[in-house]
Structure 1
Amino acid sequence: MRFIETFELLQFADTVMSLGAAFVLGTLIGAERQYRQRTAGLRTNVLVAVGAAAFTDLAARVGTNTDVLRVVANVVTGVGFLGAGVIMKEGLNIRGLNTAATLWCSAAVGACTGADMLAEAALITFIIIAGNTVLRPLAGAIDRIPLNTRASEVSYEVRVTTDAHAVAEAREALIEALEQANYPVSDVTSAAQGDAVELVATLVSTSVKSDELDAVVARLSALKGVAHANWESTTHD
């Protein structure tokens, strides 16, 4: 049997150590993601870390250093495609970018353990967990800081697509809904789109709360004659 010929106890023990470390470190990373109910949680991060470690360890045992580098490069690419699967677009919002990045980092942890760089793998794990926990309050605090209009120019627009015969009513409702939400309008333009007309209201405000504009859009979408309503922002540094 080829197994008897190729089996070496010390190499097997090294593989057990590498995959075991990948399992433990992947569990630490995944536990934080699972706690926050992310799409890619405990099991996914563990499997990514262990898989990356297994491929890297296999290349190290049967190939050369060049082969190991090739395997790691392909692991990076493969996990990139896997991470794309957890990114979701909901209207104007994109979710899952941080989870996808965490999966990518889990693969890096696995690759390090597969290459017997356990200390480096532990360091990467610590940085990943710190980035997903310690930096959360800082990110939230930054998000609440009003935009510096001298450093950046941000414009917000609310768009309503309505039937041609209901343009006047839709325009009035659009302005009224925004003013009631304390978002004064600087200008309202219209453009024909076949049998429909798109109204675009540009806001005076340079800082908005997304939930408030979402409520305005939902209210406008329910109006008779309105086919679609949404809002968007444009930033120019």
Structure 2
Amino acid sequence: MEIHDLPGFTLPLLAAVLAGGLIGFEREWRGRAAGFRTHILVCLASALLMELAVMQGLWRFEPLSGTNIVTDPARLAHGVLTGIGFLCAGVIFRSGFSIHGLTTAASLWITAAIGLTFGAGMYGLGAVGTTLTVIILVGLRLVSARLPQTAVVDGTVTWRRDAPDAEAAVHAALTDCLRQPRADRHDLIDGGEAVRLGVRLQKATPDQIRALAARLRTIDGVVGYELDPRDD
């Protein structure tokens, strides 16, 4: 590669930086673990590696005499998308019964795909992919804000085993505040001195969650609770 070839190589990289920045800005604004810089680096690395793959004819190696080398840039693209899975796994975590970070992992994956697209020189397709991704992350968030505010809530309630009326009171509170709660698991903890109930609450509004928390605080024998709305 000569110095006069640099402008042609630079444009895909700059486009990748811009696309990664637009997507990463939304994640940074939402306070996610993988934000502005992470998305830029993912998109830039993908574009850089894809450029490297499509320009294998410029690599500094001498083929054996009489051989015919056939390149396949798609193989490197497959490798990038496989490798990005390890980075995506790092932003997915479990809190209690809830799984968080799936949207951020998906945004990293699509950012890598957009970077590969720019690296292959397909600017129009990359621009469309970037636009659609930003619309999905930002636009649909604004749409959901106008919808009734409900959430799936993963919760735990813990009460002393020697409080005979606590279990019935807990179930009554769950049923009164939120219809048809789903009990996922029962645990005997603290050496058998306490019982912990894991529940999943469907379509819970903020007012219902606050009312349930207030109700649980009044139950004699309840020593702890956790109500964790899902939010990617």
TM-score, with structure 1 as normaliser: 0.68
Alpha-carbon distance in structure 2 between the residues aligned to 1:36 and 1:111? 25
Q: Distance in 2 between matches of 1:157 and 1:120?
A: 40
Q: Cα offset for 1:32?
A: 2.6
Unpaired segments ≥5 residues, structure 2:
58-68
Counterpart residue identity of residue 74, structure 1: G
Change (3 A) 1:105 1:157: closer
Which is bigger in relative contact order (C-alpha 8 A, separation at least 6)? 2
From 121, 132, 139, give the equivalent of 2:126.
Answer: 121
Pairing partner for 2:91 from 40, 65, 86 = 86
The amino acid across from 1:195 in the alignment is: G
Contact persistence 2:159–2:167 (CA under 8 A): no
Matching residue within 165, 170, 180 for 1:169:
165
Give CA deviations for 1:132-189 in whole Å, capped at 9, x if unaligned.
122223334556589xxxxxxx9x99764544422x132254256447x644789x9x
For the residues of structure 2 that align with 1:201 and 1:10, how far apart are their CA atoms? 64
Deviations 1:98-135 (A, max 9, x none): 12111111111110111111111111111111111222
Q: What residue is the counterpart of 1:72 in the other structure?
A: 77
Give the alignment's TM-score, normalised by structure 2: 0.70
8 Å CA contact retained: 1:185, 1:201 = no
- The aligned residue for residue 45 of structure 1 is 39
Distance 1:16 1:216, change over 3 A: same
**RMSD in angstroms over aligned alpha carbons?**
4.3
User: For the residues of structure 2 that align with 1:222 and 1:115, how far apart are their CA atoms?
Assistant: 62
Percent pairwise identity = 33
**Pairs within 5 Å for 1:29-40:** 29-40=23-34
* Counterpart-to-counterpart distance in 1, 2:149 and 2:70: 48
Q: Is the 8 A contact 2:98 2:154 kept in 1?
A: no
Letter in 2 for 1:113: F
For the pair 1:130 / 2:135, whether they are aligned, the reply is yes
Alpha-carbon deviation of 1:39?
2.1
Change (3 A) 1:162 1:125: same
Match for residue 4 of structure 1? none
Question: Does the residue aligned with 1:165 lie in a helix, a strand or coil?
Answer: coil
C-alpha distance in 1 between matches for 2:204 and 2:94: 20
CA–CA separation in structure 2 for the residues paired with 1:67 and 1:218: 62
Q: Does residue 208 of structure 1 match 2:204?
A: yes
Q: Is the 8 A contact 1:23 1:50 kept in 2?
A: yes
Deviates more, 1:157-166 or 1:91-100: 157-166
Tell me whether 24-33 or 68-77 shows the greater mean CA deviation.
Answer: 24-33
Identify if the C-alpha distance between structure 1 residues 213 and 18 changes in structure 2 by more than 3 Å, giving closer, same or farther: same
Q: 2:50 aligns with which of 51, 56, 61?
A: 56
Q: CA deviation at 1:83?
A: 1.5
Q: Is the 8 A contact 2:97 2:154 kept in 1?
A: no
Residues 1:58 and 1:169: Cα distance change in structure 2 (over 3 Å): same
Q: Please tell me whether residue 100 in structure 1 is matched to residue 120 in structure 2.
A: no
For 2:116, the equivalent position in structure 1 comes to 111
1:224 shift after superposition: 7.3
1: distance between equivalents of 2:92 and 2:23?
Answer: 18
CA shift, 1:199, in A, is 7.5
**In 1, Cα distance between equivalents of 2:139 and 2:186:** 47
Secondary structure of 1:38's partner? Answer: coil
Are the structure 2 counterparts of residues 66 and 231 from structure 1 closer, same or farther at C-alpha, using a change threshold of 3 Å?
farther
Q: 1:222 to 1:101 in 2, by over 3 A?
A: farther
